[in-house]
Amino acid sequence: MFRNALRMEPLYDDASHLTHFVGIIRDVTYASNIDRLTGLLDRYGLMDRLAATSTTRECSLLLVKTDIIKFHDVNNGFGYEVGDALRRVAAGRLSTLPAVAIARVGTNSFALAFELEDVGRASDLVASVVDLLGPRFLLPGASLAVRFAIGFAVGPAGSNPLHLVRQAGAALHRSKVKPDHPPLAFAAEDERNARNRIRLANELQTAVANQEFILHYQPQIDLESGDLVGAESLLRWSHGVFGLQSPGLFIGVAEETGAMLEIGAWGLRTVAAQAARVNRERRTPLRFAFNVSALEFLRRDMVAFVRRVLDETGCHAEWLTLELTENLMIPEPDDIRQAFGDLRRLGVGISIDDFGTGYSNLRYLERFPLSEIKIDRSFVHDASHSVAKRIIVESVVKLGSALDIRVVAEGIETEEERAIMQAMGCSIGQGYLFAAPMDELKFGRLLSGSGAGSGWGARRRPIMIEDERG
């Protein structure tokens, strides 16, 4: 048994009738341009194959790129062996398609090229890719329903293959950011958006030095007393051309380019300084939460950095909570766990954001020294009409109580949702019912106007009158 590459070349007579094929088979077990995990071409092999294909016949090429959505969840929840098995099985399914080239071009990304006599067949071929990847994946130790994002582009076989790959990649990016991840064809706007991302990447390098970042604060309310007890600090980029940018539009680019290190350092110092200013004369201090990127834990000594920030700003450790998303747990889990433990011993809070949306959240309760979990807004929204949502929330609250972990309900927008969360024992609420995220000036006005005890619960109306949704 060996990994092989079979190249079948059709031959035609003078009347353009297909007469026979010439086949060449090669042992590629250790060949260059072959992905050793799946036996498919790698990205270099893909480009070589596309260049060769474009010279053989006059036809069009369909280039399809696909990504496994939330692949890190599989690695994190089931182990790297299952992740490898998933990629191998996906590669096996794709290999049954009549493509002239199939490649693994990234950690969890695949590309396929099809020759098209009729451009109208492109949608049928894309649909066949979707159908192949749709059924559950039966893997050793796991049975998974996996979602894929798909982008595709069509061009003449003689055109620049790299350009076609880039177009399919741009369409794939648009598919990945849509909630249902539909297969999408390349559109002119994809190229424009790609150029904008490149521009953003360049401008991010100087954004901190140019003081273009600001923080907005969304209050957190004690659902029992109605008192203001803290705030989540939300990063915004005040771009000179594109205006106020939310994190979803630039954080990914910042992490890819490494600019996130400088942005995160600025954000943490700013939040700590704000906490010190606000709490200096308060009888009951507020907790300030700030989202932290995985890159910061991988590229710097976060414990030493947090200590330095606390010393520089005069912020007490217990006034600061680091909010983490579950993808932070993927690389170097032992090192991450050690850092969490050191931060908790220092007094800094550790919170898991969007709790309940991934494969392995429950494991975090056992493995990591958490002080807080935030119930994702998808479980809070319309909880009054969903028995399942109420059961999930109640279960999380009970787990938090048993483990002495504070529970925060995100995205509360109605009085009914607030009442349900409170009745279930959730201690803290956050959402537009109470206040929208606001800049530092408005947050200061809120603090001076609300006082220490005149909270939302006492007035039965939002504590923030200027409820601007950004």
Alpha helices in 178-187 (DSSP H): none
DSSP character string of 393-439: HHHHHHHHHHTT-EEEE----SHHHHHHHHHTT--EE-STTT---B-
Q: Which of 410, 413, 415, 440 does the annotation list as catalytic? A: 410
Catalytic: 117? Answer: no
Alpha-carbon span 437 to 279, nearest angstrom: 19
- Contact between 337 and 343 (Cβ < 8 Å): no
Distance of CA 266 to the CA centre of its chain: 22
Alpha-carbon span 135 to 335, nearest angstrom: 36
Phi, psi at 424, each rounded to 5°: -85, -5
List the structure tokens of 395. Answer: 């279960």
- Contact between 104 and 67 (Cβ < 8 Å): no
Token match 């606390």: residue? 310
DSSP character string of 58-104: S-EEEEEEEEETTHHHHHHHH-HHHHHHHHHHHHHHHTTS--SEEEE
Query: Any residues with CB less than 8 A from the CB of 227 and at least 6 apart, and which?
Result: 221, 284, 452, 453, 455, 457
Residue 109's identity, in one-letter code, is: S
User: Annotated active-site positions, please?
Assistant: 410
